Amino acid sequence: MIPVLSLVVLAAVIALSVVTKKNAGILAIVAAFLFSSFAAANGVEIAVSKIVSSGWPMSVFFIVLSTTFLFGIATLNGTTEVLSKNIACLSGGDARLLPILFFILGAIVSAAGAGGLIVAVIMPIALFVAVENNISALMMSLVTMGGIMVGGLSPLAINGIVAKQLAEEQGLYNYNTMWLAYGVSMTVFSFAAYFLLGGLKLKKMETRPSFERFDSRQLLTLAAILAVLFGVIFFKQDIGLMCFSCAGILLLLNAADQKKAIASIPWATILLIGGMAVLINVVKTCGGIDFLADKLSNVMGPRSAQPIFVILGGLMGAVSSGTGVVMPTLIPLASQLSAELGTVSATRLITGVIVGTNGVVISPLSTVGGIAVGSAPESVDKDKLYNQLLLAAVSFILLNALASALGLFYVFG
């Protein structure tokens, strides 16, 4: 009963935040406290006093804090605005090309080794460009994240390295085929968002943008952003520490007003992401996620196995680390189940795991999606964007499960 109730509470918090327009993170922490107290009184081993310390996503919190701190400085001194105008020059004045440019940029940079967390550098610029050119923030978020995640499964990026190694441990050396399956599914989804959210209806700019020079403070800030990119891609530095350190150095060099820079950090968004993570950790501790996974696995057969692994990967990826927990858990399981069923290949099932686990990262409950929400300029309704990205992640998982059930992934093995 407790696992079912935990899922009901999670759904209720999300619904209540949508209806009342209140910060879901605040509601989530209240619900987590009340429900964990109820669960503890009914025999669940959960330390109520530690639900925040054990559930607060410190890694995500620090990345969002540090990246928004750095780009808050960039926005205050005009660097983001000038940079966005200069990027817009590449479109030749055609706003329709801007989301596509960010898809390509994200794919190339992440595939080169930066991985999905490079969203922290690219997304603030992409969303500023979107606002400046009347482009849907949701569409720009989905298309940019899509490109970043397609590249993020490259054999040179961390997610791809882990997935490739796990597949090879199961005796499978055709990782590029699995990456292709994920790449196709994410690319199709991204460009579907582009078309459905008005990508082709964007108008050409009245005046073709021309290159604008950076002033001295802006050049310092641009150098800091480039330092983050080089540090992460070539020297494998922690992106949060790099951003925070560069922001601190910029303040020492008087690149922006310190009080305004600190005030620019989106604390409401950080609370939203952290509070929901606390509640989801309580749901997980109370058995809600295991309950869902168990019910799905009970109906698994040769035809339904891959769609179920897509859904399992999505469910677990929404509440756990895809790289550190979900793929290491599900890829060996998929290989074992393939041997037991004897009628479905391990490649097919592992492809389902990779698609589901890495597709759900567009959710604001994940690191990548959370950074996207945190990166949005003040003019964007972040609560609305949060809900939209959550719905988009659910849609991605369900659509890919349907595609799998229809046999569309069979072409990949």
**DSSP per residue, 338-372:** HHHHSSS-HHHHHHHHHHHHHHGGGSTTSHHHHHH
Length in residues, the chain: 413
Residues 285-321 pLDDT 10s: 998 877 866 776 677 777 888 999 999 899 878 766 6
- Angle value at C-alpha 129, between 368 and 111, nearest 5 degrees: 40
Q: 256-269 as b/e, with b when 16 or more CB fall inside 10 Å? A: beeeebeebbbeeb
Q: According to the model, what pLDDT value does residue 319 have?
A: 66
Question: Measured between alpha carbons, how far is 14 from 28 in angstroms, rounded to an integer?
Answer: 8
Answer whether residue 322 shows pLDDT above 80: no
113 compared with 97, residue with greater pLDDT: 97
Give the type of residue at 354: I
Question: Measured between alpha carbons, how far is 413 from 411 in angstroms, rounded to an integer?
Answer: 6
In the predicted model, what is the mean pLDDT of residues 244-265? 93
Question: Measured between alpha carbons, how far is 399 from 227 in angstroms, rounded to an integer?
Answer: 39
Q: According to the model, what pLDDT value does residue 392 have?
A: 94
Q: According to the model, what pLDDT value does residue 393 have?
A: 93
Most confident of 143-152, 195-204, 208-217: 143-152
Share the mean pLDDT of the chain: 87
In the predicted model, what is the mean pLDDT of residues 351-378? 88
Of 172-186, 264-278, 389-403, the range with the lowest mean pLDDT is: 264-278
In the predicted model, what is the mean pLDDT of residues 262-277? 83
In the predicted model, what is the mean pLDDT of residues 396-406? 93
Instruction: Compute the Cα dihedral for 355, 145, 99, 389 and give only its sign.
Output: positive
**Closest C-alpha among 283, 271, 228 to residue 61:** 271
115 compared with 42, residue with greater pLDDT: 42
User: Considering the entire predicted model, what is its pTM?
Assistant: 0.73
